[in-house]
Homo-oligomer: A and B are copies of this chain.
Amino acid sequence: MASEADNKAQPPAGSAHFDRLALIGVGLIGSSIARAARRGGLANAIVGCARTEKTRDKAMELGIVDAMYEDPADAVAGADLVIVCSHLGSYATVGKTMAASLMPGAIVTDVGSVKGCVARDLGPHIPEGVHLVPGHPVSGSEKSGPEAGFAELFDGRWWILTPGEEADALAVQRLKAFVQALGSRVEVMTSSRHDLVLAITSHLPHLIAYNIVNTADDMETVTQGEVVKYSAGGFRDFTRIAASDPEFWRDVFLNNREAVLETLGRFTEDLLALQRAIRWGQGDTLLRLFSESRDIRQRIIQAGQDTEAPDFGRRSEPPAEAD
């Protein structure tokens, strides 16, 4: 393992390579970063940190890290790049625990889905001379845990960086090169803009998915067996979204409250208008609104953010009989 006593030459400005990469948390995102960093040869050593022994053992067994630690302080010692990949709710504790061990000149970033809270929770613990550059890879899966990760998760996806106005330009440049080398495309924006864009593109969709699944579960007149049985009509796609990690999403909604409530208000207004069109049999209104949705779908496919392969029928993976 490289130690902070190593006498290293200053890396070139655009270098995507780091000496010691420390991942605080090795779930879906953390373990995927480890895999992609190894694929690209982006660090001399990759170390991780996890609270439970089970996760630490799993990560070592998968061979995606060189060492695993229980204490964030041990993981970040000597690291020139630290990526916080734990739940948003853990940031203040993680920051406090690792603060004293952060190496001067190190870059600290994160992968959280809300960015406004990073300066609030991690910021106060970042020592002078260490560079905080919050970030967010906009890709994911409903799966979680180290075994769910894969090196291709970021390929062609966006990775948003939200450096504050005071951020060190060289640190931003090096982090940018690193996430590009992981396979991502990079965008830089303010944390408040990020939180609003993500509220509509990610947080609201997840909230709605959770809600519809719970509504279905609660419907007294329809047994659960029937809802599950006929879920191929559209419902199962919501359950796929709603299968994401509950703790992760709790933290997102608690930390992006304002933007989520704003978009939720707009959603409800629009839904009431649709409800009214149904009640009054306004077929033209329904047709117009439904047609507009289709256009957006086409733009997403053109932007390379999804494939055109049919998915409802799950053609490529015919379902097994119930077992």
By a beta-carbon cutoff of 8 Å, the part of chain A in contact with chain B is 113, 138-143, 148, 150, 152-153, 155-158, 160, 187, 196-198, 200-219, 221-222, 224, 226-243, 246-247, 249-250, 253-254, 257, 260-261, 263-264, 266-268, 270-271, 274-275, 278-279, 281, 283, 286-287, 289-294, 296-297, 299-300, 302-307, 309-323
Contact = CB atoms under 8 A, between A and B. Distances in A.
A141 to B, nearest CB: 4
B141 A313 contact: yes
B224 A296 contact: yes
A246 B287 contact: yes
A266 to B, nearest CB: 5
Given A253-B278, A271-B211, A314-B307, A158 B200 contact: no
A292 B254 CA distance: 19
Contacts of A198: 230, 233
Which residue of A204, A206, A289 has the most chain B CB atoms within 10 A of its CB atom? A289
A19 to B, nearest CB: 29
Nearest to A311: B240
Given A214-B270, A311-B141, A222 B200 contact: yes
A210 B287 CA distance: 11
A222 B203 CA distance: 14
Contacts of A204: 212, 215
Nearest to A220: B266
Contacts of A140: 232-234, 312-313
B138 A286 contact: no
B138 A230 contact: yes
B319 A274 contact: no
28 contacts: A113-B233, A142-B310, A150-B315, A158-B232, A187-B229, A197-B226, A200-B215, A201-B233, A204-B212, A211-B270, A211-B271, A212-B267, A213-B297, A214-B293, A219-B263, A219-B266, A224-B296, A227-B296, A228-B305, A231-B300, A237-B241, A246-B290, A246-B291, A250-B283, A254-B281, A257-B281, A306-B319, A309-B317
A201 to B, nearest CB: 4
Contacts of A216: 200-201, 296
Chain A, interface SS category: helix
Given A139-B232, A316-B316, A289 B210 contact: yes
B243 A294 contact: yes
Nearest to A246: B290
B312 A201 contact: no
Nearest to A304: B322
9 cross-chain pairs, A with B, having the tightest CB-CB distances, nearest first: A202-B233, A246-B290, A242-B293, A205-B234, A243-B297, A141-B312, A141-B310, A213-B293, A304-B322
A257 B44 CA distance: 62
Nearest to A251: B283
Given A197-B222, A210-B293, 11 more contacts: A139-B233, A139-B312, A140-B233, A142-B310, A197-B230, A200-B216, A200-B219, A211-B267, A214-B292, A250-B287, A307-B314
